Structure 1
């Protein structure tokens, strides 16, 4: 008999699971999952919001970087009217709810993460994603925390790879704090050979009412399937974030220094649009940020050592967490839980070919002037990627800590 998932168990799962986990129909009782288009139009009102847009039939070896997109302002009603027939995909993505909607809006009042064991989390902790078919986020890793995703409307496809996966071609160009992008284009790639060596991938489609936990560091490419897609998510902190913030602060200083010595238009080719002010940020400010996160990390390490020293031989057992339990038994007891199935390199390539057939069947490939400008900065990009390589940054960080002790 399938047991009911308690909020305490769900929280333990989200905090400890090391593979992506799907909760089928878990949030189907959320009022937001039962709203129709008329209700969404009423709730989101006539406020114009920015959608980033790009031609659906763009085929390229490079991902569809945000810098390539144009931004169009439109209401939600205008979006759902244009979405089915538009030659562009459109995405109002990565938007922190309180920054875009009145705190008294009905929509915000309905957002609660209580079912996941976080009764104190709501709209203020949530990010909204509204997009059309083909709208996507390039493959990347989130360097901070882990992610809980709630699918409210439409279908969304996820392709995920473990943190240590080879062949993902990580890059910090375009630079964005907390995001390590892959150079692979999972949308409509011009060359499929780059995907031949990929293994251990997983894929899943989320429907309205489903939820997904993305563990720390997992690579993910996310694409909307239906013409209207609405998703909420929440990032939660991880115990390793203090250390990662030092790595990110070191990387930011290095990228900022490179950008400061380049013409502004050139420097912008190295960063995502939300980092356009990086080259104008005084280095003194960046060093203060580094000092702050370094102090926080070292303080947390000292505190942990004190706790270990003060620990007595108390025989009281620690309560078990999800890692000490049998995950397979948990999955067996809760039929609405599933680990996304693995996808072979051949299956992945077939999926990408289907994408090309669906969106790029016009036979149009990219134009020379659409090639990302960073190709003309090949050496600069290579230097940034070389210095920001995880092994290099880790060595610098440990050297820094030893000197500061």
Structure 2
């Protein structure tokens, strides 16, 4: 069975495919994929933008947590001047376009996700990522939604693992709502042994005009491989988000209460900078948030029961379903330029990490004490408590008992 490759098909893929898909040159027709660096300099102008920075040769057992980075404000032109020569990588990451660009700007007007079947999604829903070589996001999984990434300028490497992958050492410290981090350092690790035996991995290099679909729950480590890299992404809702929000609200209460009773400097190490206000959030507000998401979940469950009962009572029980598609035929058709993210063995992964070390690290350099500030090594017991309570089988049981009592 052949399937027409259009917006409806792609939308269907995003909702149903459970493996990462690469859309080669799929968005090369976007005008912003044709912009050269001078054009991007004009678009950014002289606005001061905050870049997260860290030494390229930082080696550690832990990932390079955001708390360890220094924030430096500079213009895009200043960033360009240092992108190839600086001893630091720089990242202006996870920034919503509408917070940095007006609706009448050229960039804002050009962003549309209609080609993926989401005409309702545009610049307001999109986040921007601008960085230099070596800039990266620690390995993590998003607890909400589906991710579509559009590569606009430069190349970016994605290493991905299925949701159920063992050996990644999941942790909620540092805490950030919707992110579960891996305690493994995929950038410049001090210990390679922890990567032995990791299975199910996939690795893909995205070039300008490429797009990537990251299904719900897939672990991913992302690193810029060119001197200048620019990308956009959009998160799409998933039907399981309603349930997940209850779990996240429960975890947030736990972390917030622990932070309230700890010294401020210690509490900061438990959370990412965007969660710094968590200790100041009144307990009543946290419980109101929990009550809200729990009621939404229960209301949805009741509606589904009513619909199911109604269908069983009606003579015509035909339920409209989404148009079927044949993924294999879509992948086999060369003109679609569609591919599964290629698999990577643990041996190849280890070689990739060693190449990273060879590229960025001067092993003769000694580290200053202030460079290790922001690590979570000294939070062993507190971290263990949070991770124990946040483990999926534990928090799912708590959620199940809570919802049963609220029903």
Q: Within 5 Å, which residues of 2 pair with 1:250-329?
A: 250-311=250-311, 312-314=314-316, 316=318, 318-321=320-323, 325-329=325-329
* Structure 2 residue matching 1:293: 3-state secondary structure: helix
Query: What is the match of residue 199 of structure 2?
Result: 199
Q: Within 5 Å, which residues of 2 pair with 1:22-37?
A: 22-37=22-37
* Structure 1 residue matching 2:91: 3-state secondary structure: strand
| Consecutive aligned runs of 4 or more in structure 1 exceeding 6 Å deviation | none
Give 1:366 deviation, angstroms.
5.0
Give 1:320 deviation, angstroms.
4.4
Question: What TM-score does the superposition give when structure 2 sets the normalisation length?
Answer: 0.96
Instruction: Report if aligned partners of 2:176, 2:274 keep a CA contact under 8 Å in 1.
Output: yes
Counterparts of 1:318 and 1:137, CA distance in 2:
40
Counterparts of 1:298 and 1:331, CA distance in 2:
39
Q: Which runs of 5+ in 2 are unaligned?
A: none
RMSD of aligned C-alpha atoms? 1.5
Give 1:367 deviation, angstroms.
5.3
Counterparts of 1:335 and 1:43, CA distance in 2:
32
Instruction: Report if aligned partners of 1:59, 1:366 keep a CA contact under 8 Å in 2.
Output: no
Query: What is the match of residue 351 of structure 1?
Result: 352
Query: What is the match of residue 342 of structure 1?
Result: 343
From 380, 387, 390, the counterpart of 2:392: 390
The number of residues matched between the two structures is: 402
Counterparts of 1:387 and 1:52, CA distance in 2:
31
From 354, 364, 377, the counterpart of 1:375: 377
Counterparts of 1:367 and 1:270, CA distance in 2:
22
Query: What is the match of residue 330 of structure 1?
Result: 330
Query: What is the match of residue 176 of structure 2?
Result: 176
Classify 1:321/1:254 alpha carbon distance in 2 versus 1 (closer, same or farther; 3 Å).
farther
Query: What is the match of residue 86 of structure 2?
Result: 86
Counterparts of 1:247 and 1:3, CA distance in 2:
38
Give 1:313 deviation, angstroms.
4.9
Question: What TM-score does the superposition give when structure 1 sets the normalisation length?
Answer: 0.96
Counterparts of 1:51 and 1:216, CA distance in 2:
28
Q: Which runs of 5+ in 1 are unaligned?
A: none
Instruction: Report if aligned partners of 2:133, 2:224 keep a CA contact under 8 Å in 1.
Output: yes
